[in-house]
Structure 1
Amino acid sequence: MRRSQGFTLVELLVAIAVMSMLALLSWRAIDGMTRTQTLTQERSDGLLRLQSALGQWIADLDAVLDTGEVTPVDFNGQTLRITRRDSAETGLDSPGVRVVAWALRPTAAGGQWSRWQSGPLRQRDELARAWQRAADWGRGASGTALAGADSSLAVIGVDRWQLFFHRGETWGNPLSSVGTEAAGGNTPASNSMPNGVRLQLTLTGTQGLSGDLLRDWARPTLEAGR
């Protein structure tokens, strides 16, 4: 009778070692694919948030409305405040006004570029109070900073943001009086509307995006050659 043959202990151990190596390599490949997918998703979500934020930024500037009561576009070094048409009431003969503010606000997760807006405004006193609330919100005030229909939203994480206004023939500091001279005189026009606004953001990188981002806006009613 022929002796039945089988695996030796050494062969079995070698087979188990090879299978273990294959399982380890497979796990590493799956883990790498999962990490790549997660990173791709984070960057995609961050890009969508950034695109939405920049779209809202441009929409706010495009809808600027000079009420004659306050400066239509004002930057105090910390907060940008804008008086803009109420987009929900553009069909009315006398559309409402909203005050919008943009600022870099500190949070537990780091700096967040954030947007604030008031509810619809129709009275001078309402506009004055909303204008002040926007400034208080930009300084980080709580409690009375949000009232009624006011709303605030953290948009995207940034380490720093800078603004430049285009007045006269060049880009400059928004707080500078250069280029704001009134026509026919040397007295600065405090409510001078800039020809353009340059936004520079330094992204934190915690949301899959990093580096500096530059976005220019030009006033829609700007005449050719200016």
Structure 2
Amino acid sequence: MAMHRGHLPPHGRHPEPASVQGFTLIEVLVSLLILAVLAATAWKGMDAIATSRQVADGKLRETLRLQSVMTQWEADLGQVIDTLIVPGLQFDGGHLRMTRRTTGGVQVVTWLVRGERLLRWASPETTRVGDLQDHWQRSFQLQGTEPGTLVALQGVGQWQVFCFRNASLSNCQSSGNLAQAFQGTPTPGQPPVPTVVREQLPQAVRVQLSLGPGSGFAGNLSRDLPVAPQMVN
């Protein structure tokens, strides 16, 4: 009989299958633990970066808001006009009022602090004497909710305004700062007769604000702002 071709392994044993290499359960658990630690570390780092960015963005917005307030103050004081009808600028301890030239005539602008908020109220523009006088009187009755009122800054506790006149700094509420205005054409050979006596406009003002947490700052802010009176046409 024919024999089956092939060779038997030595000693008649069959070949053993090749062993399969793999991870043990302990190794898998250790790997997962390492990945979890790395993920948590990366998450904390990203969260810290996001928080720092939010804080930086908030500080930037607060700084820009404060700068915009100073810019608006400079714009208002740079357009102050003495109409000889109402005062050009007046501070009574709580309200800073000024008569301001605009493209459509003149208007009364008032800055005030109400409920730890720095507010700016602007009356409608007018070219009529009666309307200007009404707007000026209305500025003494502001409640902070009138049309034309904007919240300029939050977190303002107290404020004070000082006036530079004749190279000296004084309280804007002090008396003795009167000036005489003249109207009409004087008669030749005769001195002009003063027709209006009004408060002398300062060359500059110093604004001091007490800032609290609501403003994003803490402490006192002092800023000197020039006054550039406009001429009456």
Task: Quickly name the TM-score band, shorter chain normalised.
Answer: 0.7 to 0.9
C-alpha separation between the residues in 2 aligned to 1:133 and 1:181?
24
Q: 1:156 to 1:141 in 2, by over 3 A?
A: closer
C-alpha separation between the residues in 2 aligned to 1:54 and 1:124?
30
Q: How does 1:15-26 map to 2 (within 5 A)?
A: 15-26=31-42
Kindly indicate whether the alpha-carbon contact (under 8 Å) linking 1:105 and 1:113 is maintained by their aligned counterparts in 2.
yes
Aligned to 1:119: 124
Aligned to 2:165: 167
Q: How does 1:29-178 map to 2 (within 5 A)?
A: 29-86=45-102, 88-89=103-104, 96-106=105-115, 111-137=116-142, 140=143, 142=145, 146=146, 150-157=147-154, 158-177=156-175
Aligned to 1:224: none
C-alpha separation between the residues in 1 aligned to 2:170 and 2:216?
31
Q: Number of residues paired by the alignment? A: 196
C-alpha separation between the residues in 2 aligned to 1:45 and 1:141?
24
SS in 1 for 2:114: strand
C-alpha separation between the residues in 2 aligned to 1:208 and 1:34?
19
Q: 1:28 to 1:159 in 2, by over 3 A?
A: farther
| 1:29 partner amino acid | G
> Given the two structures, how large is their TM-score scaled by the length of structure 1?
0.77
Superposed displacement of residue 207, structure 1: 5.1
SS in 2 for 1:55: helix
Q: 1:56 to 1:219 in 2, by over 3 A?
A: same
C-alpha separation between the residues in 1 aligned to 2:160 and 2:140?
17
Percent of pairs with identical residues: 34
Superposed displacement of residue 202, structure 1: 2.9
Gaps in structure 1 of 5+ consecutive residues: 90-95, 184-188, 222-226
> Given the two structures, how large is their TM-score scaled by the length of structure 2?
0.75
Q: CA RMSD in A?
A: 2.2
Kindly indicate whether the alpha-carbon contact (under 8 Å) linking 1:53 and 1:155 is maintained by their aligned counterparts in 2.
yes
SS in 2 for 1:154: strand
Superposed displacement of residue 97, structure 1: 0.9
> Which of 211, 223, 233 is residue 215 of structure 1 equivalent to?
223
